[in-house]
Amino acid sequence: MADTTANGAATAASPPNKPPHSTRPKRPNYNLIHADPLPVVLYHSPPLIPHNPLSLLHHLYLYFFPPVQSHKVVYIGVFSPVTMSVEVRDPTAVLDLWNKGFWGKGSLSRSEPTWLNREMRRLGDTQVGETSEEITRRRRDQRKEMKKERARKEKEELQKVKEAEAKSKEETGPATNGKPIIADSKVVVGLEAEINGLDETTTESAQPSAPVEELGLPTPPPSSDELNTSDAESKTVIVDVGSDTLPVSVPPSSESPPTQPAKVVRFDSNTSTKEIPVEKKVTVKNQEHLQLTLSEAFFLVYALGVLSVTTGDSTGPLPLPEVFKLFLRHSTFPPLPEPSVSLANLNPDSSFLINYVVYHHFRSLGWVVKSGVKFSVDYLLYKRGPVFSHAEFAILIIPSYSRWEGREENEGKEWYWLHSITRVNSQVKKTVVLVYVDVPTADDVKGWDNESDGLKKVLGKYKIREVALRRWIPGRNRE
């Protein structure tokens, strides 16, 4: 009830005791960590005012003399013919590439390179927070426990309904003709209560007194069969201090009945103790590196210019034509022989070129493009990144040879191939997008290596058409 002061103003009563803070670790600020969408340095130019010549001169000066060099090689990757990927081993470069655009994946992790943090937590390091793999595992365990609890309650409700039906049959006799009385009743399970109590799942114990003693709480009084106090003049209170049990005589009382059982009071010294976690720091050598796919590595080399690629045999970074030729060879398995790949006689039907055109297209539009092999597609599109939300679209690349004479499109593709893909992605709430890539002929790209920016001309010959595909379900899409 509120208190009233002398002036008549009411003051609110003291708030009730707040529940203790949750022990769940605080999540990092991903908006701040992944603020930069690309690993390039950006600077803000002043607004352009058309009728002000000084503003135009300022923009011209910034164009020829920028304050920072954004497209500068700062990362070094080593091509691995075994994994057909580019490996980045510098820890600073690995962290920078992941935080600025979610490039690549950890060689010992599902996606984000978190092997070092997981290993330190396994060895008892208290200064490292939870990793994404641990959070995923904990959520899966919670869902598993929720399903077990729901199945148990459904079984109990069903057993109650069966018992009620059997009892009704016994009472009414043959009047029901074998039909259940509770035919219209439904089994209702409180799923909300299950989910709220998921973190503290209670289990039935065969001996309820055992956990009470472990918690240091008073044990329930024994039954009259165990302690029969026939003596009406006095009764005994058994006091348990630590490991010693002391009987204490109490004078008789006229108010209390003589047949009242004795009380047992236990004082546990462990109730006043509080465990303080010991800070521990573990030093572990990082054995994980970042793996970049061929499309990701070539985008960093060609489009952004922030990565240089080397091989085990090369003494320095490879030039762009050599990197392009290297990726063309190793885009298939087994790799193509080196004499068969020629830049002068470029094959536009190369799997690397077709995949890279699609990757370049969606990366240029601001999407985070990751591999979609887990869901039987080529790419997955994230709006901001894997740490913010799940992928919204699943990309399926279909080459189109409309400009090729005498070649049929979609050779060897059956109807159940597409049906299986849509079925898988509809279960994970992803929209399948069919990306038709119009492949140019060899005559269309002839002579590209003699031009200054011939690769840009080659990529411009490819045309992309996007078709969103949704699985039609009669029960849901009837109207």
Residue given tokens 């297209």 in the structure block: 361
Span 137-165, mean pLDDT?
Answer: 90
Q: Is the pLDDT of residue 9 over 50?
A: no
Report the alpha-carbon distance of residue 304 to residue 300 in Å, rounded.
5
Per-residue tokens: 448? 């590209």
Helix (H) or strand (E) holding 382: strand 379-382
Helix (H) or strand (E) holding 73: none
Report the alpha-carbon distance of residue 121 to residue 118 in Å, rounded.
5
Residue given tokens 């090369």 in the structure block: 314
Span 132-147, mean pLDDT?
Answer: 87
Report the alpha-carbon distance of residue 308 to residue 318 in Å, rounded.
7
Q: Is the pLDDT of residue 278 over 90?
A: no
Among 20-29, 360-369, 406-415, top mean pLDDT goes to: 360-369
Residue given tokens 């209560």 in the structure block: 193
SS3 432: strand
Helix (H) or strand (E) holding 393: strand 393-400
Residue 128's pLDDT is what?
81
Span 99-123, mean pLDDT?
Answer: 91
Any idea which of 211-215, 330-334, 422-426 has the lowest mean pLDDT?
211-215
The one-letter amino acid at 105: K
Any idea which of 242-256, 289-303, 443-457 has the lowest mean pLDDT?
242-256
Using an 8 Å Cβ cutoff, are 282 and 125 in contact?
A: yes
Could you tell me which residues are beta bridge partners of residue 309?
Answer: 77
Dmax over Cα atoms in the chain, in whole Å? 117
Report the alpha-carbon distance of residue 365 to residue 211 in Å, rounded.
60
**CA nearest to 237, candidates 216, 212, 265:** 265
Confidence of residue 99 (pLDDT cuts 50, 70, 90): very high
Q: Is the pLDDT of residue 124 over 80?
A: yes
Q: Cite the DSSP H helix spans in 332-434.
A: 351-364, 415-427
Phi/psi for 466 (5° steps) reads -110, 130
SS3 300: helix
How much is the mean pLDDT over the chain?
78
Report the alpha-carbon distance of residue 125 to residue 119 in Å, rounded.
9
The one-letter amino acid at 116: L
Residue 230's pLDDT is what?
44
Confidence of residue 404 (pLDDT cuts 50, 70, 90): confident
Beta strands 75-80 and 307-310, pairing class: parallel
Confidence of residue 381 (pLDDT cuts 50, 70, 90): very high
Could you tell me which residues are beta bridge partners of residue 394?
Answer: 380, 432
Beta strands 85-88 and 290-292, pairing class: antiparallel
Confidence of residue 318 (pLDDT cuts 50, 70, 90): very high
Report the alpha-carbon distance of residue 326 to residue 85 in Å, rounded.
11
Q: Is the pLDDT of residue 274 over 80?
A: no
Among 18-27, 276-285, 353-362, top mean pLDDT goes to: 353-362
Q: Is the pLDDT of residue 300 over 80?
A: yes
**Domains of the chain with CATH codes:** 346-479 (3.40.1350.10)
Confidence of residue 51 (pLDDT cuts 50, 70, 90): confident
Confidence of residue 216 (pLDDT cuts 50, 70, 90): very low
| DSSP type of residue 301 | I
What's the first-to-final CA gap in the chain, in angstroms?
Answer: 57
**CA nearest to 149, candidates 113, 107, 186, 201:** 201
SS3 77: strand
SS3 148: helix
Q: Is the pLDDT of residue 405 over 60?
A: yes
- Burial degree of 367 (CB within 10 A; 0-12, 13-18, 19+): buried
pLDDT above 90: percentage of residues in the chain:
39
Confidence of residue 259 (pLDDT cuts 50, 70, 90): low
Report the alpha-carbon distance of residue 428 to residue 8 in Å, rounded.
61
Angle, helix 351-364 to helix 320-329, in steps of 10 degrees: 120
Q: Structure pTM? A: 0.69
Q: Is the peptide bond before 348 cis (omega within 30 degrees of 0)?
A: no
Residue 318 CA, chain-centre distance (Å), reads: 36
Number of DSSP helices (H) and strands (E) in the chain, helices first: 12, 15
Residue 277's pLDDT is what?
62
Residue 474's pLDDT is what?
73
Residue 45's pLDDT is what?
77
